[in-house]
Structure 1
Amino acid sequence: MAYQALYRVWRPQTFADVIGQTAITTTLKNALITGQTSHAYLFCGPRGTGKTSVAKILAKALNCRHLEDGEPDNTCDLCVAINNGSLTDVIEIDAASNNGVDEIRDIRDKAKYAPTSAKVKVYIIDEVHMLSTGAFNALLKTLEEPPAHVVFILATTEPQKIPATIISRTQRFDFRRITPQDIVDRMKHILDEKGITYDDQALLVIAKAAEGGMRDALSILDQVLAFGQDHVTVENALDVTGGAAVTQLGEYLQHLADHDTAAALTTIEQLLASGKDAGRLIDDLIGYLRDLLVYQQAPTLVNDTASALQDTHFKALADSFAPGQLYHMIAVLNQTQGQLRLTNSPTLYLEVATVQLGQPAPTQAAAPVAEAEAAPAYSAAVTKLEGEVSRLTQLVQNLQAGGQTPAAKPKPKAKPVKVNKAQIYPVLGAATKHDLEAVRDIWPDLLSMLSVPDQAMMKVSKPVAASPEGVIVSFAYDIFVERASNDANLLAALKDDLAKLMGSPKQIVLVQQDEWPRVRKAYLAENGAPHAAPQPAAVPPVVKTMTDLFGQDNITIKND
């Protein structure tokens, strides 16, 4: 017989065999014992966590002739037929390739017929989120009120894509990621049964790479066994998963702690040259830093499954790095991880990240100095304000005693903002309504491209006129006109982003909002209004009376 993968050979056959989903299996067993099973179930969760396996076990339990304590016996004819895949009354469908309306209508029509040999007809629809909208609608009524002899079991990794009307007609069970310790225990059981020796550390490496999926863990274990059949070693596990040894991670971080960037770069180069995966390397580093951070705050939370504790550098690094440094390093690595997805040169980004990690965190030295410098100034400002408040309070009391009220202090007149007619008039001369509407349409997008401080300043602005070569922007406050006019970086960003959005460069002229009507009026007085629209002819009184009585839309005017 051809070789079968471990995850197929060791697929759970009873609820007791399912790893890491005790709450779900206990609930289903109790429902089977009391006869309170549902007509439809929805199994959600990450890949490889047991959704399809539990669905098949439930199908066997619903049909088993000798059900004991909610568990199928796996010896009766129906259980054996389901295990062999020969029972026609248990139908397993892959919605990824059967997602049309016709396939679901076929299910709906055949569900009406009684099972041929089983007690209950069971439909297992895997990756149900792949069904089309029409297919979901076709399934809806049958799912709500199926025949008494039919049970639907839906499985998916993306429940958010399933309509709420479908979810509300099922019993939902959320499968959790399996813990590394449970994965390790299961692999130990399998290897002991097969008579294969192993290193505990190697199993930890595999469990970490599986990311909570038992099927992924067994697939990786299969590859490691093929790499070296007699013994599962740490080296083989690292080679297969593309991970780095814990000691290498510790050495790399120790170089960074010593600010020996050259040695850290050499370590990265050696790891990548030996075939280590860049993404997996960053995952391992982030996990190591996480263990350091947790160990500093609560050592007992870093249990024996944490591979970092077996590294000789671990405790020394926990004493060397401050929490702020660890936050900074995790943030840099997380950013680099996102960049690796968009590049074919991971070495470049890892080297840049290494140099960045070798430098002190920005807030590490600056924060205490800034606080020390700010303290005297803050204290002096508070003392000055307290004295001013005391003086004003005394003045008010003296005035009230004399029967007087303090006169309101006149507001200073706003400093007039100089209007640059040499820039505004050419734009007004060629301005069109079409150009202005085009600029207004992209204005929100333009502001979103700016930095947060620049966005705050430009929130009080709006385009008021535009031509093919320029845009006039008005500000609600003259102070912002002055600041924006003196901010060369802001003006350059506005011009560049506007050119990107409009497809051509435009000059940007700033004006104060209250000043804009006067500027426009002055331009019209000096240059006329060549583009002014013709004024409508005066409406005769009798026509106005008729329009008021019957409405504008019901009146037709004809000139004889």
Structure 2
Amino acid sequence: MKHLSLAARYRPQTFAEVAGQDTVKAVLSRAAAEDKVAAAYLLSGTRGVGKTTIARIFAKALNCEHAPGPEPCNQCPQCRKITQGSHVDVAEIDGASNNSVDDARALRETIGYAPMEGRYKVFIIDEAHMLSRNAFNALLKTLEEPPSRVVFIFATTEVHKFPITIVSRCQHFVFRHLSEDALHAHLCDVLDREGLTYEEAAVRLIARRAAGSVRDSMSLLDQALALGGDGLTAGVTREVLGLAGQELFVSLFEALAGRDCAGVAELSRRIAAQGVDIGFFVRELAGHLRTLFLLRQAGTAMLPHLGLTRDEAACWQGLAPRFSATHLHAAWQMTLDAQRGIVQNPEPAAALELLLLNLALLPQLLPLEHLPGAAALPVTDNGASPPPVQPAGMIPAQQTAGVPPAQAARREGGSPLRQTGTGAPRAGRTDAAAPADDEDAESDDPAPAGDLPAPPEALTARPAVVARPAAETASAATGTTVRRQEEAPSAEAATAVPAAGEGGTARPETPPDWAAFCEYCRTEQAEGRPSPPPYLLRQMRAEWTPGCLRLYPSAGQILAQAEKHRADILAALARYGAGTPALELVPPRPPRSEADLIEEFRQRPEMQDCLSLLNATIKHCTEA
């Protein structure tokens, strides 16, 4: 007797037997029960999740002698013929080998005839995305106005290749991956029906390896059982499928914790020599890093959510404290990012070894501000700090490894750095609520204005000339210090208090608070008095110097608007009590090419050691 694979032997014959896909089963079962059937259905999803199986069950439910009903009986001649593939009214067509326009025309000619044996003529087109565009176009009119008692069911793994004109004429159902728990339950049911003994760890391993595909899980189970024996064990399963055991992962994490590069290299050699499935190894590595990170952060409270056996839980709980949370988080992210590249690399074993060595050396990476020469950054022509350059394309280790939380916020795509506390005004505004007694606080940059974020400290250029003791003026109202690059003013200029403006407010001894001035203008406008638009002021950064106010618009349009409202700004400053300073509008820096940004960032001294240590290159750069 011919041997049938487990996938063929236990192929579901009713909706209830199908694992997962509850929504699709409910909709199609109700359509069959109420005899409210659409002309065409499109079933899409990854391989082995039940698309063709459900299409066959639906065809049986429509043509069953006891129809309409929610399930086929599988006992009547109609159901048996469909199961055997010999029913005259149910045609299962391979889209890959019947994809021409001539095949579509022949199909159209067949559609015109009424069903011969059953209630419906059902056409199941598998791998339908392989049909040519002309074949699809030949079916358009038929799908829109099909004869009565004709149903099309398209099954595909690549729905993006379908013309939208076809998709719009179908009821589209997306089949999802099955969860590991659902696959585990399905495999256990099959093994129980086969009367075989098994270890939970072995079944869990096959369910994880199948990656959501029922057919893959059944094929892997068949492969694991092919070795024979009394039952299914985890050791035999790993050996047959070429999977790494837990003891190898324990040895690997011990080497990573000890930064033992020689041990990591030896483990890499063993993985290659044993023929381990490298793609699945990296997936398991990412899963174990997730487990360690969650245990490191939440401790035993996380155990019920991880699905570990008692021995596995004890093992990972012992390893988790040997790593910092930062190390585990960065290693987890690096592993996830490297999965596709390692599998597709011409030398996957070498790519895996490089990844493991990088994971071991993660704690040795330093934040940028700790590298030598971090303060020697370039300065623009007008003395202002240039826009920060955000690097990307380096190995992910730099993003989080050994970096404090504030520094980690500057990762690619992250928001600008925001700092609070003594001597560090909050980026994006001047903190008017800071303590008044913080006289000795200082800021390396002029206080930013409006709602614009201040450039990140570690990546922003500093003024080249600073006269610290004589040129700093503390503001008791804001708790901030403004450092000026010009010579210290004379004693008369430092102590003189100008007369009050029209608003009756005396000019303060220190440069005005730009955020407070913006709020003043908003109040003036609300009371109907002429004032510059507050939204315009908030989109400019202010830099006060003796007798001069420099404004840095965020864009060219803001610069043009500010020129139009120059007189209004000067009048409002006079009413506010800031006198009549010279107003200088600094044009925004023109955009630079990506190549210029990469070269500028690569030449910065603080990057030289980092790039040399990691043997890395910068592939992408954007201006924040």
Quick check: 2:123–2:153 contact (8 Å CA) kept in 1? yes
Of 372, 385, 404, the residue aligned with 1:367 is 404
Report what 1:186 is aligned to. 186
- More displaced 10-residue stretch of structure 1: 107-116 or 289-298: 289-298
Q: 1:313 to 1:258 in 2, by over 3 A?
A: farther
- Are residues 1:233 and 2:233 paired? yes
Quick check: 1:52–1:155 contact (8 Å CA) kept in 2? yes
Of 317, 320, 329, the residue aligned with 1:318 is 320
- More displaced 10-residue stretch of structure 1: 396-405 or 325-334: 396-405
| 1:42 counterpart SS class | strand
Quick check: 1:247–1:313 contact (8 Å CA) kept in 2? no
Within a 5 Å distance, the mapping from 1:22-33 to structure 2 comes to 22-33=22-33
Q: 1:157 to 1:394 in 2, by over 3 A?
A: farther
Quick check: 2:61–2:69 contact (8 Å CA) kept in 1? no
Query: Deviation per CA, 1:331-380, whole angstroms, max 9, x where unpaired?
Result: 33244434434444333222222221112343544538989x99887441
Within a 5 Å distance, the mapping from 1:518-533 to structure 2 comes to none
Query: Deviation per CA, 1:425-467, whole angstroms, max 9, x where unpaired?
Result: xxxxxxxxxxxxxxxxxxx9x955x27455999xxxxxxxxxx
Of 344, 347, 356, the residue aligned with 1:345 is 347
- Are residues 1:125 and 2:162 paired? no
For 2:406 and 2:36, locate their aligned partners in 1 and report how far apart those are by CA, in whole Å. Answer: 68
| 1:172 counterpart SS class | strand
For 1:296 and 1:27, locate their aligned partners in 2 and report how far apart those are by CA, in whole Å. Answer: 44
Shift in Å, 1:95: 0.9
Report what 1:328 is aligned to. 330
Q: 1:370 to 1:213 in 2, by over 3 A?
A: closer
Shift in Å, 1:151: 0.4
Quick check: 1:228–1:236 contact (8 Å CA) kept in 2? no
For 2:156 and 2:82, locate their aligned partners in 1 and report how far apart those are by CA, in whole Å. Answer: 21
Q: 1:16 to 1:297 in 2, by over 3 A?
A: farther
Within a 5 Å distance, the mapping from 1:181-330 to structure 2 comes to 181-296=181-296, 299-300=301-302, 303=305, 305-306=307-308, 310=312, 312-330=314-332
Report what 1:398 is aligned to. 499
Within a 5 Å distance, the mapping from 1:59-74 to structure 2 comes to 59-67=59-67, 69-74=69-74
Within a 5 Å distance, the mapping from 1:43-82 to structure 2 comes to 43-67=43-67, 69-82=69-82
- Are residues 1:159 and 2:159 paired? yes
Report what 1:358 is aligned to. 360
For 1:301 and 1:37, locate their aligned partners in 2 and report how far apart those are by CA, in whole Å. Answer: 47
Query: Deviation per CA, 1:266-287, whole angstroms, max 9, x where unpaired?
Result: 2332233222122221111011
| 1:122 counterpart SS class | strand
For 1:120 and 1:336, locate their aligned partners in 2 and report how far apart those are by CA, in whole Å. Answer: 50
| 2:226 counterpart SS class | helix
For 2:260 and 2:315, locate their aligned partners in 1 and report how far apart those are by CA, in whole Å. Answer: 16
- More displaced 10-residue stretch of structure 1: 204-213 or 251-260: 251-260
Q: 1:396 to 1:120 in 2, by over 3 A?
A: farther
Quick check: 2:61–2:68 contact (8 Å CA) kept in 1? no
Within a 5 Å distance, the mapping from 1:408-427 to structure 2 comes to 408=582
Report what 2:85 is aligned to. 85
Report what 2:442 is aligned to. 380
| 1:146 counterpart SS class | coil
Report what 1:98 is aligned to. 98
- More displaced 10-residue stretch of structure 1: 112-121 or 362-371: 362-371
Instruction: Give the counterpart letter for 2:124 in structure 1.
Output: I
Q: 1:447 to 1:98 in 2, by over 3 A?
A: farther
Q: Which runs of 5+ in 1 are unaligned?
A: 413-443, 458-482, 489-560
Shift in Å, 1:229: 4.5
Q: How many residues align?
A: 426
Report what 1:522 is aligned to. none
Within a 5 Å distance, the mapping from 1:428-507 to structure 2 comes to 447=593, 450=595, 452-454=597-599
Shift in Å, 1:10: 0.7
For 2:115 and 2:593, locate their aligned partners in 1 and report how far apart those are by CA, in whole Å. Answer: 64
For 1:124 and 1:369, locate their aligned partners in 2 and report how far apart those are by CA, in whole Å. Answer: 57
| 1:380 counterpart SS class | coil
- More displaced 10-residue stretch of structure 1: 263-272 or 373-382: 373-382
For 2:187 and 2:204, locate their aligned partners in 1 and report how far apart those are by CA, in whole Å. Answer: 10
| 2:361 counterpart SS class | coil
Q: Which runs of 5+ in 2 are unaligned?
A: 366-399, 409-418, 425-440, 448-471, 476-480, 508-573, 609-624
Quick check: 1:296–1:318 contact (8 Å CA) kept in 2? yes
Report what 1:17 is aligned to. 17
For 1:113 and 1:257, locate their aligned partners in 2 and report how far apart those are by CA, in whole Å. Answer: 72
Shift in Å, 1:67: 3.9
Query: Deviation per CA, 1:231-255, whole angstroms, max 9, x where unpaired?
Result: 1111221123322122321331122
Q: Which has the higher helix share?
A: 1
Query: Deviation per CA, 1:53-75, whole angstroms, max 9, x where unpaired?
Result: 00000000000012485110001
For 1:217 and 1:78, locate their aligned partners in 2 and report how far apart those are by CA, in whole Å. Answer: 31
Shift in Å, 1:218: 0.3
Instruction: Give the counterpart letter for 2:442 in structure 1.
Output: A
| 1:151 counterpart SS class | strand
| 2:125 counterpart SS class | strand
Quick check: 2:326–2:402 contact (8 Å CA) kept in 1? no
Larger Rg: 1
Query: Deviation per CA, 1:514-554, whole angstroms, max 9, x where unpaired?
Result: xxxxxxxxxxxxxxxxxxxxxxxxxxxxxxxxxxxxxxxxx
Instruction: Give the counterpart letter for 2:329 in structure 1.
Output: Y
For 1:71 and 1:250, locate their aligned partners in 2 and report how far apart those are by CA, in whole Å. Answer: 50
Quick check: 1:261–1:358 contact (8 Å CA) kept in 2? yes
Report what 1:535 is aligned to. none
| 2:499 counterpart SS class | helix
For 1:393 and 1:155, locate their aligned partners in 2 and report how far apart those are by CA, in whole Å. Answer: 81
Quick check: 1:140–1:166 contact (8 Å CA) kept in 2? yes
Q: 1:189 to 1:262 in 2, by over 3 A?
A: same
Instruction: Give the counterpart letter for 1:332 in structure 2.
Output: M
Shift in Å, 1:301: 7.5
For 1:380 and 1:351, locate their aligned partners in 2 and report how far apart those are by CA, in whole Å. Answer: 47
For 1:411 and 1:195, locate their aligned partners in 2 and report how far apart those are by CA, in whole Å. Answer: 84
Quick check: 2:101–2:135 contact (8 Å CA) kept in 1? yes
Within a 5 Å distance, the mapping from 1:103-118 to structure 2 comes to 103-118=103-118
For 2:24 and 2:295, locate their aligned partners in 1 and report how far apart those are by CA, in whole Å. Answer: 33
Q: 1:214 to 1:380 in 2, by over 3 A?
A: same
Percent identity, aligned pairs only? Answer: 35
RMSD: 3.7
For 2:13 and 2:324, locate their aligned partners in 1 and report how far apart those are by CA, in whole Å. Answer: 50
For 1:39 and 1:301, locate their aligned partners in 2 and report how far apart those are by CA, in whole Å. Answer: 49
Quick check: 1:261–1:355 contact (8 Å CA) kept in 2? yes
For 1:173 and 1:58, locate their aligned partners in 2 and report how far apart those are by CA, in whole Å. Answer: 14
For 2:43 and 2:600, locate their aligned partners in 1 and report how far apart those are by CA, in whole Å. Answer: 46
Shift in Å, 1:408: 2.3
